[in-house]
Structure formats: C-alpha cells, structure tokens
C-alpha cells in the first residue's frame, strides 16, 4: 500500500491509473479492518455500560463495599468494570488512530511519512503492553477462558 502511494505520484498517466486502482483496493481493505474494529469497540462500549449498571445495582443493594461473594472467580464487580473500562479506552484511542491513518494514507507524498503510518498501524501505540494480560485475566475471571 505504501509503495503504491509513491507510485501513483511518480508514474505516467496509464501507470497512475493502474496504481490508483490498486491503491483504492488496498484502502478498501484497510476500511474493512477499521469497520471491524468499530464493531468490536461498539460491543465493548455496550459491555462497559452493562457492567457499570451491574456495579451500580450492587452498590444500591449491598452498599459501597459491594457484594461479599464475588460474581466471578475472584474479582469484584468494580475490578471487572475497571478492567473493561481500561481496555475500552485503549481500543477506542487505537481505533481513532487507525481512522486517521486511513484518511491520510492515500494522500501521503513522502515515503518517510508512509513509513510512519505503517509503523503506527503495526505497532499499535495506544494499546499498552499490559492490556493483553488484562484481557486474559478478564477472560479467566468471567469463565470465557478455562482455568
């Protein structure tokens, strides 16, 4: 994709048309990835909202200290809600970055900027290293991953 951007700007008109069509195809594939991320983030938002509702209900029923027997293996509802909120914030920021890259990548004039976009796309700078551990712990606590 990133080499196509520079080819579109440097080629003759017939080569530009072919490179532009290929660039368009690659951008459509990137759009599909972003659309899938949007769906995941929207699901995460609904889950965080539901978890916040459970947390509020527990505070109403049991007071600020919460339920004595946890709903999950060992985490309280508050711990689960905090973990879900942390993951949602990280993935929301990453989604915004990917949207920005998608909007800008086809208009990039320099190979250096293309490499920056590529690095940002692959590195996922808004996903902290410990988010994988948080996600695995969340799956274990909720029973979605076997112990």
**pLDDT tens digits for 25-82?**
988 999 999 999 999 999 999 999 999 999 999 999 998 887 888 888 888 888 999 9
- Six-digit token pair at 96? 């915004």
Q: How much is the pLDDT for 48?
A: 95
**pLDDT higher than threshold 90 for residue 139:** yes
Q: How much is the pLDDT for 76?
A: 87
Q: Return the domain boundaries, the chain.
A: 2-142
pTM of the model: 0.83
Helix axes 131-142, 77-105, angle to 10 degrees: 130
Question: What is the band of 4 on the pLDDT scale with cuts at 50, 70, 90?
Answer: low
Phi, psi (degrees; rounded to nearest 5) at 49: -65, -45
Nearest Cα neighbor of 81 from 39, 57, 49 is: 49
**pLDDT higher than threshold 60 for residue 9:** no
């Amino acid at each position: 994709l990133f080499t196509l951007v520079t080819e579109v700007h440097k080629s003759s008109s017939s080569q530009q048309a072919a490179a532009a069509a290929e660039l368009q195809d690659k951008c459509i594939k990137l759009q599909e990835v972003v659309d899938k991320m949007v769906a995941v983030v929207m699901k995460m938002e609904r889950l965080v909202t539901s978890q916040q509702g459970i947390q509020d209900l527990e505070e109403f029923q049991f007071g600020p200290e919460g339920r004595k027997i946890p709903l999950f293996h060992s985490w309280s509802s508050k711990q689960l809600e905090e973990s879900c909120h942390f993951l949602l914030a990280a993935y929301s920021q990453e989604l915004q970055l990917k949207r920005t890259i998608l909007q800008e990548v086809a208009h990039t004039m320099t190979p250096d900027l293309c490499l920056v976009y590529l690095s940002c796309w692959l590195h996922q700078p808004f996903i902290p290293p410990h988010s994988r551990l948080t996600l695995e712990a969340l799956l274990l606590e909720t029973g979605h991953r076997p112990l």
